[in-house]
Amino acid sequence: MKPVALIAFNFVREQRWPILVLLIWVLLLAFLGLAEPNSHDDLLLIFKIVGAYVVVFSIFFGGSAIYNERRSRRILAVLAKAVSRQQYLSGLVLGVTLASVIYCFALGLTGSWTLSGVGFRISQVWFLMLCLVSACTLAGTVALTFSTFLNPFFAAGATALVLILPPLMGRIVSTRWVNVIPVYTLASAVLGSSFEVPASQLWLPLGLAVLETVFFWLIAARIFAWVDIAVSVE
């Protein structure tokens, strides 16, 4: 477990600048809360937009992690130690999760402060943050799975396709398809939240997201075990 945690913290450390850039958006929300404390709808809109960013970023975090490490050849020194490839991937999944937790925690704090003042329940804010973290972890893990054999650009494209397919099928075939890969469901809980209609309790998609994260992590580990990591990715 220790190598997993070390790789995860190292991942967050290596991604500190993108995370800090993301946090600037949270600051924007805080600034708006200070400047316009009574503009209910604007605050909620910024909150939703800032929330949606983190899902997109976690796809990029997950999709580029292995590629960056292989391109810089830093992966060799790590995997030359007593670290299995499965542990290495677990570290990356945990790293993506930690990055989104840091962001969502900051967003949750700012959201609690700005939105509770205009009538949004604090518990609702934190529930939405839980949805966001789950969506980010699953989206990041899907991207990581594709990145074991694709470059970041194609990995992000394939991930977007996989995440969009269930809601598309939900519209065309049956609404049951929506929850097949529940990133869309969880993200739309944040995007669709309002003062009038609070987000419904989405425990089923949340549970599914956790299970599917494990599923994709296992697939990624199986594929990654066969990858020649020393071969140039250029």
Residues making contact with another protein (CB under 8 A):
2-3, 6-7, 10, 13-14, 72-74, 76-84, 226, 228-231
- For residues 218 and 108, give the distance between their C-alpha atoms in angstroms, rounded to a whole number: 30
Smallest gap, in angstroms, from Cβ of residue 51 to another protein? 31
Closest distance to another protein from the beta carbon of 226 (Å):
7
Residue 69 or 212: the one with the smaller Cβ distance to another protein is 69
Query: Residue 13 Cβ, how far from another protein at the closest point, in Å?
Result: 8
- Residue with Cβ nearer another protein (78 or 223): 78
Which CB, 5 or 130, lies closer to another protein?
A: 5
For the bound state, the minimum distance from the C-beta of residue 233 to another protein, rounded and expressed in Å, comes to 13
By C-beta, is 10 or 124 nearer to another protein?
Answer: 10
Shortest CB 117 distance to another protein, Å: 41
Least spacing, CB of residue 86 vs another protein, in Å: 9
Kindly tell me which of 81 and 173 has the beta carbon lying closer to another protein. Answer: 81
Please give the Cα distance from 123 to 141 (Å, whole number). Answer: 27
| Nearer to another protein (CB atom), residue 3 or residue 18 | 3
Bin 201: left if φ > 0, else alpha if -120 < ψ < 50, else beta: beta
